């Protein structure tokens, strides 16, 4: 504090408060519990003020990873992402100020709300609107821009009015007539299928959806982050026959799942041309995308599920468990599971994906968080690694973005540690994906988070070369000319990144070494660990009925 300010305070003037302190108090008032970021001019003081206010601050090594972590903890806690960015001083606008950029305008394209407070006094109302906008309707990111001169600017503490915490999102319900129509369509289905999406997990609809599945004896299929809404080992889960279920169902109920590329847009040849979709979604704009639905149920997914249950309570109905549809699905599941087990049982070295994941699955705690990213690593791991609890799987999701893994894992671990649940976070990475945010290993060690990193290492992006092939290839020229773009350095010791920061590292090449290292990692709760798992560089998925991006032939 300057001599002038001290003199003013001693003369009995009102107490002063800084912009940074106002931001922190406004966030605390809106029940924000965690902040992830990288400090620097002009936002360091905001992080310091947040800590003093009781908000947990997690310092990351990369701004993207910080944003990934914040988005994941928003998904897990129901308080989605608010981005607070420092910008150039107001008096220097248009002058070429340090990092001057139209941040509010740029963020408006990609966020639900983007604004810059006009004064310190307006910060609380702007932050309240940002938080409210982020959680109302379909959740999404919001941006608040803070001019550099606001951070340390002092104002009279009595001039700031804090907006009380916004109300929880209002619960909307579908029209009764639409509910009746949906129930009729389901009752008349010959080959019904429920698809449980991330929206159902976020809406905490697990109890209602499970009741619906069990009461009506319906088959269901989870999307990647819908896994665990109903346990993957539930007898009505037909994930092992995914392609067959999608291709031949005549009525499909979408619970918070979009008909985007993950679900092949709802179009042939992945679906029947005349399939009837019943869409349950919080977002009106999502209804009717790509395919005209038979019925639309606009509302909170948990509330709408309860409405459907009420219909089936009034007039009970069950889909016949011995139908030809169930028989078809069970036969395909049995066939696919046998193929996967055959691949997993192969004794040849290096290991393949299936061998690795089956050994991992044997030891996974039932209550662990599973985070995953990569190409084959994520896709194959999703089919083998089981989830039994809702909101316990985090992966690359709709955008298929690589680099999310460690940020997501840090968020889940911060939450598990704060809740003192003893839960572990298993973060399964492809070696290429790990490279996007690998330095966050230091963050993991700095906060001593309960994370076990599994790097499934095939020496490349999709596929790589073994050491001998790599050396032979380099005889023909410089790597820039002869090395395929998908190749990475063979047998890279990623586990040494972990040991460099004080964690435990393992380099494994056999099933026995994998079992031992995972057992030791799970038993050791004092430090994070990284298991670098070498697999066959040319390993791939089992034969698929369709390309994963059908229309792109990829």
| Residue extents of the structural domains in the chain | 16-159, 176-329, 346-534
Residue 82, beta-bridge partner list: 142
Asked whether 349 and 510 are in contact (CB, 8 A), the reply is yes
| Torsion angles phi and psi, residue 141, rounded to 5 | -75, 150
Mean pLDDT of all residues in 46-74: 97
Check residue 37 and give its pLDDT: 96
Length reported for the chain = 554
Q: Which residues pair with 16 in a beta bridge?
A: 156
Closest CA to 205 of 133, 140, 280: 280
If DSSP codes are grouped into helix, strand and coil, which group holds residue 158? helix
pLDDT level of residue 9 (50, 70, 90 thresholds)? very low
For residue 395, the cross-strand partners are 372
Q: Which two tokens stand for residue 113?
A: 């709300």
Arithmetic mean of pLDDT, 314-341: 97
Kindly indicate the confidence band of residue 502, based on its pLDDT and cuts at 50, 70 and 90.
very high
Res. 553: pLDDT tops 80: no
Do residues 458 and 539 lie in contact, with contact meaning Cβ atoms separated by under 8 Å?
A: yes
Diameter over CA atoms, the chain: 87
Dihedral sign of CA atoms 465, 467, 469, 473 in order:
positive
- CA dist 443 and 58 (Å) reads 8
Q: Give the closest residue to 246 by CA, choosing from 217, 220, 214.
A: 220
Give the number of other Cβ atoms within 10 Å of residue 346's Cβ: 12
- Nearest C-alpha neighbor of 195 from the set 290, 283, 266, 139: 266
What pLDDT does 302 receive? 98
CA gap 140, 75 in Å, rounded: 10
State both tokens at 193: 């299928």
pTM tops 0.85, yes or no = yes
Do 488 and 436 touch, CB atoms closer than 8 A? Answer: no
- CATH 3.40.50.970 for domain 16-159: yes
Please state whether the peptide bond connecting residue 42 to the residue before it is cis, i.e. omega within 30 degrees of 0: yes
Strand partners, 57: 35
Query: Residue 449: what pLDDT?
Result: 98
Q: Which letter, b or e, does each residue of 29-64 get, where b requires 16 or more Cβ atoms within 10 Å of its Cβ?
A: bbebebbbbeeeebbebbbebbeebebbbbebbbee
| 480: its two tokens | 């820039």
Query: Is pLDDT above 50 for 22?
Result: yes
Q: Is the pLDDT at 220 greater than 60, yes or no? A: yes
State the pLDDT at residue 39.
93
Give CA–CA dist 371/107, Å, rounded.
28
Question: Residues 397-436, buried b or exposed e (16+ Cβ, 10 A)?
Answer: beeeebbbbbbbbbbbbbbbbeeeeebbbbbbbbbbbbbb
pLDDT of residue 13: 67
- Give the pLDDT mean for 41-60: 96
**Do the Cβ atoms of 528 and 444 come closer than 8 Å?**
yes
**Exposure on the CB side of residue 461, measured as CA atoms within 13 A:** 10
* DSSP-derived pairing of the beta strands 154-156 and 16-18: antiparallel
Angle between helices 123-135 and 19-29 (to 10 degrees): 40
Inter-residue contact 47 to 40 (CB < 8 Å): no
pLDDT at 146 over 70: yes
- SS3 of 285, please? helix
Q: Is residue 236 predicted with pLDDT exceeding 90?
A: yes
Mean pLDDT across the chain: 95
DSSP state of 96: T
| pLDDT for the residue 334 | 97
State pLDDT tens for residues 408-426: 999 999 999 999 999 999 9
Q: Domain 176-329: which CATH class? A: alpha beta
Inter-CA distances, 117 with 19, 46, 106, 378, Å:
11, 15, 16, 41
* DSSP letter string, 50-112: HHHTT-EEEE-SSHHHHHHHHHHHHHHHT---EEEEEE--GGGTTTT-TT---HHHHHHTTSS
Task: Match 């702007």 to its residue by tokens.
Answer: 126
Among 3-7, 182-186, 221-225, 295-299, which is the least confidently predicted range?
3-7
Contacts by 546-553, CB closer than 8 A, 24 or more apart: 546/243, 546/264, 546/269, 546/270, 548/379, 549/261, 550/264, 550/269, 550/270, 551/265
Question: Residue 546's pLDDT is what?
Answer: 78
Best CA proximity match to 290, nearest among 270, 311, 313, 320: 270
What digits encode the pLDDT tens for the residues 364-398? 999 999 999 999 999 999 999 999 999 999 999 88
Mean local confidence (pLDDT), 19-26? 98
Q: Which pLDDT does position 544 carry in this prediction?
A: 76
Q: pLDDT band at residue 42, thresholds of 50, 70 and 90? A: confident
Fold of the CATH domain 346-534: Rossmann fold (3.40.50)
16-159 matches 346-534 in fold: yes
Any bridge partners for residue 548, and if so which? Answer: none
Give the end-to-end CA distance of the chain in Å, rounded to a whole number.
Answer: 62
Question: How far is Cα 375 from Cα 540, in angstroms, rounded to an integer?
Answer: 10
Asked whether 349 and 509 are in contact (CB, 8 A), the reply is yes
Which residue reads 């290292």 in tokens?
Answer: 517
Phi, psi of 394 (to 5 degrees): -130, 125
């Amino acid at each position: 504090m300057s001599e002038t300010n001290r003199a003013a305070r001693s003369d009995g003037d009102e107490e002063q408060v800084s912009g940074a302190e106002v931001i922190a108090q406004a966030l605390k008032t809106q029940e924000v519990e965690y902040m992830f970021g990288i400090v620097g001019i002009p936002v360091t003081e905001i992080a310091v003020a947040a800590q003093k206010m009781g908000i947990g601050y997690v310092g990351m090594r990369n701004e993207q990873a910080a944003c990934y972590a914040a988005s994941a903890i928003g998904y897990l806690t129901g308080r989605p992402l608010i981005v607070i960015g420092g910008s150039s001083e107001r008096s220097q606008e248009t002058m070429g100020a340090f990092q001057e950029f139209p941040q509010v305008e740029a963020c408006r394209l990609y966020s639900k709300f983007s604004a810059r407070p006009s004064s310190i006094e307006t910060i609380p109302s702007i932050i309240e609107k940002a938080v409210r906008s982020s959680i109302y309707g379909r959740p999404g990111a919001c941006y608040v821009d803070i001019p550099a001169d606001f951070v340390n600017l002092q104002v009279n503490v009595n001039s700031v009015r804090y907006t009380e915490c916004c109300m929880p999102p209002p619960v909307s319900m579908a029209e009764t007539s639409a509910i009746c129509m949906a129930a009729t369509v389901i009752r008349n289905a010959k080959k019904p299928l429920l698809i449980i999406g991330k929206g159902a997990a976020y809406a905490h609809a697990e109890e209602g959806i499970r009741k619906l599945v069990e009461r009506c004896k319906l088959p269901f299929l989870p999307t990647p982050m819908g896994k665990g809404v109903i346990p993957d080992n539930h007898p009505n889960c037909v994930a092992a026959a995914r392609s067959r279920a999608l291709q031949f169902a005549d009525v499909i109920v979408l619970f918070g799942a979009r008909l985007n590329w993950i679900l092949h847009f709802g179009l042939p040849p992945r679906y029947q041309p005349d399939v009837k979709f019943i869409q349950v979604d919080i977002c009106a704009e999502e209804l009717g995308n790509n395919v005209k639905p038979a019925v639309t149920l606009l509302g909170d997914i948990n509330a709408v599920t309860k409405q459907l249950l009420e219909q089936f309570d009034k007039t009970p109905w069950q889909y016949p468990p011995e139908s030809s549809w169930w028989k078809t699905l069970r036969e395909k599941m049995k066939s696919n599971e046998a193929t996967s087990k055959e691949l997993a049982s192969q004794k040849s070295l290096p290991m393949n994906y299936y061998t690795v994941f089956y050994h991992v699955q044997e030891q996974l705690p039932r209550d662990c968080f599973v985070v995953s990213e990569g190409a084959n690593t994520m896709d194959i791991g999703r089919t083998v690694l089981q989830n039994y609890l809702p909101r316990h799987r985090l992966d690359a999701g709709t955008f298929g973005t690589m680099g999310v893994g460690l940020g997501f894992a840090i968020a889940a671990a911060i939450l598990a540690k704060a809740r003192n649940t003893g839960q572990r976070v298993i973060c399964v990475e492809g070696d290429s994906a790990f490279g996007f945010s690998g330095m966050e290993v230091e963050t993991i060690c700095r906060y001593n988070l309960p994370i076990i990193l599994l790097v499934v290492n095939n020496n490349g992006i999709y596929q790589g070369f073994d050491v001998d092939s790599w050396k032979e290839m380099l005889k023909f020229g410089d790597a820039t000319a002869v090395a395929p773009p998908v190749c990475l350095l063979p047998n890279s010791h990623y586990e040494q990144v972990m040991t460099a920061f004080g964690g435990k590292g393992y380099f494994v090449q056999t099933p026995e070494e994998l079992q031992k290292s995972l057992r030791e990692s799970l038993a050791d709760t004092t430090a994070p660990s990284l298991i670098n798992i070498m697999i066959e560089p040319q390993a791939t998925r089992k034969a698929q009925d369709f390309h994963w991006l059908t229309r792109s032939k990829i």
